A and B are shown apart, each in its own frame.
Chain A
Amino acid sequence: MIEKLMSLDRRYVFALVGLAVIIPTLLMIRFPIYVSQPTQNIYDFIEGLSEGEVVMIAFDYGPSSLAELNPMAIAVLRHCFRKRLRVIGMTLWPVGATLGDTLMREVAHEFDTTEGEDYVYLGYRPGVTNVLLQMGEDISAVFAEDYSGTPISEHPMMADVKNYNDIALVVDLAAGASVEGAWIPYTYTGYKQKIAAGVTGVIVSQLYPYLQTGQLVGLMPGLLGAAEYEKLIEQPGKGTAGMSAQSIVHLLVIVLVIVGNVAYFTTRRREQNAEVY
């Protein structure tokens, strides 16, 4: 039995993982979400802004991470539009350009918003460092036109937005090193721009030092962060829905690790006993 467990074909594990995702998705179970302080901080900061203030959202991710970051982007955009804040979207990732464009239009249509007055989507420009530093001087020097080619001077909301001085908060939704490798060194350090981050589970642990120093206002951890933010704005979405399957797979992985270790140590003890006799 133990030997069988030790040499289990990995495709059985694959099947278990598949079922652990499919069954809770079909059953549509919902678990209560506990909101962590770093996510609460972002919500509180945005909640404290006055109508008309500007929030910049950077869609620094691609399709490989949209599962975690799209729900976050939707929740933050809903919060901003609900509070009648003005939103600027942009990205440092080429693959983020189309994702951000689609998403901003979708969420903006849920509210009574007008493009150019309530939101502008600038799109992508290559050259991370140069883009961020040049935007600190003059956004229009980098984005003379928005993503669809309209000169940004034609958008009324950009009339009083020249550079970071006119932006209350940057929310970087990141799947790579754009938070600690770009936004913090080039916009926080250079221009004291307030930055919040929503990141994938893979990189969340490495951003805690920046949270403690205040270089980050707050931090949303992966799909859980999206679910937390959805709870705060009282509008459940894909984050909350996904956390049910997430819970079951987590339990499965924990059980698999424990079973694997029990099997390993039992086999090892048997082998040691066999050597003694």
Chain B
Amino acid sequence: MSTDIGVWIAAFLTLCIFSFLYKDNPFYKFAEHLFVGVSVGYGIVLTIHQGIIPFAWQPLKNSITGEAPLWRFFVTLIPVGVGFLFFSRLMPRYSWLIRYPIAILIGMGAGFAIPRAMETSIFEQMNGTLRPFGVINSLSAGEIIGAVLMLIGVVCTLTYFFFSVEHKGIVGGISKLGIIFLMIGFGSAFGNTVMGRVSLLIQRVDFLLGDWLGIVG
């Protein structure tokens, strides 16, 4: 059995959370609220020491101490000032000022995303679907079947999501085939999700039986 006080605290909190399996209770509620508080505290520390200090404070300081040119001080001061507008949220009268940093961040994000999303998720995916047909002579029978199946699957599933045309007749048939592909896809996702969730439980049991009680190595 562990002699480490940290392991004992961790084991106690683990059991507090597991107690929810029986029913909601004060131990679970205590751990749940402690978790929320500690997580936000952790977020504050990380944002200050890994965000605000290296990106805002350090460049300003370097400009003053001469490690960086003085003009950088003023160039850095503009976004720092814009960042401080987030605090306007705390003053209802000026809370509209928060729109400035949000608008800049959203505009920037959208601008960066558009061309890269087009290439990553549209062009490359279309390319991946059609590429096997460009080298069809070098493919085995199994690979050709796979390529045809992939093309059918992509087209049918896309048709299912195409709502500008009523899903009747041929379109209805194609979209029904799309549903089949979707269901197999969701089924495989469920299968993998089970593996994911069970892994988390295995790790906690391993902690309780190994690190805490010392029954397993």
Interface, chain A (partner B; CB < 8 A): 11, 14, 17-18, 21-22, 25-26, 28, 64-68, 94-95, 97-98, 123-127, 129-130, 133, 143-145, 147, 180, 184-186, 188-190, 200-202, 204-206, 209, 212-215, 221-224, 238, 241-242, 245-246, 249-250, 253
Contacts and interface: CB of A to CB of B under 8 A. Distances in A.
A250 B22 contact: no
Main secondary structure of the interface of A (DSSP, over half): helix
B192 A201 contact: yes
Contacts of B198: 21, 245-246, 249-250
A213 B199 contact: no
B54 interface: yes
B205 interface: yes
A26 B200 CA distance: 17
A241 B70 CA distance: 58
A253 to B, nearest CB: 6
Given A17-B201, A223-B195, A246-B198, A94 B46 contact: yes
Main secondary structure of the interface of B (DSSP, over half): helix
A69 to B, nearest CB: 9
A185 B116 contact: yes
A64 B200 contact: yes
Nearest to B43: A94
B128 interface: yes
B199 A11 contact: no
Query: Which residue of B39, B189, B200, B204 has the most chain A CB atoms within 10 A of its CB atom?
Result: B200
A180 B124 CA distance: 13
B112 A133 contact: yes
A190 B116 contact: yes
Contact of A97 (B22, B39, B46, B197): B46
A60 B128 CA distance: 27
Given A205-B185, A241-B206, A246-B199, 19 more contacts: A21-B201, A21-B205, A25-B205, A67-B200, A67-B202, A94-B47, A125-B50, A127-B51, A186-B116, A189-B119, A201-B195, A202-B193, A206-B189, A213-B128, A215-B124, A222-B192, A242-B206, A245-B198, A246-B195
Given A123-B50, A249-B198, A144 B58 contact: yes
A124 B196 contact: no
A12 B117 CA distance: 47
A26 B209 CA distance: 8
Given A97-B46, A188-B120, A129 B109 contact: yes
Contact of A215 (B42, B51, B55, B120): B120
Contact of A21 (B22, B109, B150, B202): B202
A125 B112 contact: no
Given A97-B46, A201-B195, A206-B189, A129 B113 contact: yes
Contact of B128 (A66, A67, A186, A209): A209
B205 A68 contact: no
Nearest to A253: B194
Most buried by A among B150, B189, B199: B199
Interface string B30-71: 000000000100110011001100110010000000000000
A269 B51 CA distance: 63
Nearest to B35: A63
8 contacts: A67-B199, A123-B50, A125-B51, A144-B58, A145-B54, A147-B50, A221-B195, A253-B194
Contacts of A189: 116, 119-120, 124
Contact of B47 (A126, A209, A238): A126
B51 A126 contact: yes
Contacts of B47: 94, 126
B203 A242 contact: yes
A33 to B, nearest CB: 13
Interface centre among B39, B46, B188 (most CB of A within 10 A): B46
Nearest to B207: A67
A185 to B, nearest CB: 4
B215 interface: yes
A200 B192 CA distance: 9
Contacts of A186: 112, 116
B108 to A, nearest CB: 8
